[in-house]
Amino acid sequence: MRLLVIAMVESSHTANWLNTLTNEGHEIFLFAPYLSRPHKDLEPVRRTNGVFFQKGATDKINYISALPHPFLGDGLEWSLNKIKRDQAWRANWLAMIIRTIKPDLLHSMEFQQAGYLSLQAYEILKGNFPPWLATIWGSDLYYFGQFEEHKPRIKRILSLADFFSCECMRDVKLAQQMGLKGRALKPGLVSGGYDLKRARELQSKQPTSERRLIVIKGYQHFAGRALIALKALELCSDHLNDYKIRLHSSTPDVIKAVNTLGRKSGLDIACIPHTQNQEDILALHGQARISIGLSISDGISVSMLEAMIMGSFPIQSCTSCANEWIEDGKSGFIVPAEDPIFLSLKIISALNNDTLVNHARELNWKTAEKKLSSVIVKSHVINTYKEILDNISTNA
């Protein structure tokens, strides 16, 4: 199969997904919807301009820059990245790439960048377009589907895409409500699977109830609500004197708020340095009794999955697909994203109930074995493309 993927090339999700396809005999072309450096784990990569390329080569991923020349220096690329992202030349460049390489399948991964650009190319090519798999990430429908500036483009993609994939059944239903006409594929992780043997090695051997660490995802942006988690900690601070609290992936306003809360309350709370090393984050969850993630919109929260794998009790906002992975009150707590009082009560409950957190660890590990191992996720990725190719062949 000659596969053209439109995706955020700097994303670990893109790297993890495409790395599962290595050595499967596919010609893979990766097109960047905007100027960015490929993720460090995306290997091996061959830079090409998409016009002159080695036909039939399956040994490397063919990376096509958002600029029509593959050998521009990074400094120039980063300067040019200040150009307005939605300029028409990028869509025309993608349309030319499609005409040239003639992919068997175009796969847009995520809607607001890759999907919208693919839609522009579709309109340029006036329907002379390859079979299209449109995948959503996280908030693509659940959040952006609420806004009038996004609705027409989202609905247009859903009406045109031959295939649709996502992480949870919630988004299948949303897509159907918004006019999906193509085939909805079985939901599955877009962020890649996990080496469960290595995960076991990284986590503390002591029972979850004996751990004295609380981990929080430190996002505060259009969706993330780490500041609500900090307010909840302040409300229940009398119960936290024996605990360390660590935040990862923290945004600047969260770092400032953490420093303020530490001074006011005397809590042992800090933000760890940013890292792209997944094992660092897994090891952090592997020392934690509780892991908290709050957002007003998400797909499957990666931080929740990491907590589940590493034996930490997950507390996750109800605006993700948490209910498709954990059972509220048994294998985790599902909470409102913006209610610090409710969250503080759930934190206290998880701190006081040793049996709950220890049993949740057992339940979540069983879920991980069934759904999260790298072997299982790799099989899902391969079967996704096989199902599509079989469908294309049948309808040819």
- Alpha helix stretches (DSSP H) within 246-353: 252-265, 278-285, 302-310, 340-352
So what's the pLDDT on residue 48? 72
Nearest to 24 by CA among 50, 49, 79, 61: 61
Local confidence band at 62 (pLDDT 50, 70, 90 cut-offs) = confident
3-state secondary structure string across 179-238: CCCCEECCCCCCCCCECHHHHHHHCCCCCHHHCCEEEEECCECCCEEHHHHHHHHHHCHH
What is the tens place of the pLDDT at every residue in 259-281? 999 999 999 999 999 987 889 99
| Low-confidence winner among 28-37, 117-126, 364-373 (lowest mean pLDDT) | 28-37
| Distance in angstroms (rounded) separating the CA atoms of residues 100 and 134 | 21
- Statement to judge: residues 102 and 144 lie in one domain: yes
Query: Are 219 and 138 contacting, i.e. CB atoms less than 8 angstroms apart?
Result: no
For the chain, the average pLDDT equals 90
- Statement to judge: residues 218 and 132 lie in one domain: no
Q: What is the value of pTM for the model shown?
A: 0.91
The three-state secondary structure class of 4 is strand
Average pLDDT over residues 206-211: 98
- Statement to judge: residues 138 and 65 lie in one domain: yes
Residues whose CB falls within 8 Å of the CB of residue 18, separated by 6 or more in sequence, listed in order: 5, 28, 30, 42, 61
| Distance in angstroms (rounded) separating the CA atoms of residues 221 and 227 | 10
* Size (the chain), residues: 396
- Statement to judge: residues 332 and 387 lie in one domain: no
- Statement to judge: residues 113 and 16 lie in one domain: yes
Side-chain-side CA neighbours of 300 within 13 Å: the count stands at: 22
- Statement to judge: residues 279 and 159 lie in one domain: no
Domain that holds residue 297: 196-372
What is the tens place of the pLDDT at every residue in 347-380? 999 999 999 999 999 999 999 999 999 999 999 9
Element (H, E) at 100: helix 88-101
- Statement to judge: residues 387 and 365 lie in one domain: no
So what's the pLDDT on residue 320? 82
Total domains, the chain: 2
- Statement to judge: residues 147 and 257 lie in one domain: no
- Statement to judge: residues 267 and 386 lie in one domain: no
Q: How many helices (H) and strands (E) are present in the chain, helices listed first? A: 14, 14
- Statement to judge: residues 95 and 211 lie in one domain: no
- Statement to judge: residues 130 and 119 lie in one domain: yes
- Statement to judge: residues 137 and 277 lie in one domain: no
- CATH number at 205 reads 3.40.50.2000
Average pLDDT over residues 239-260: 97
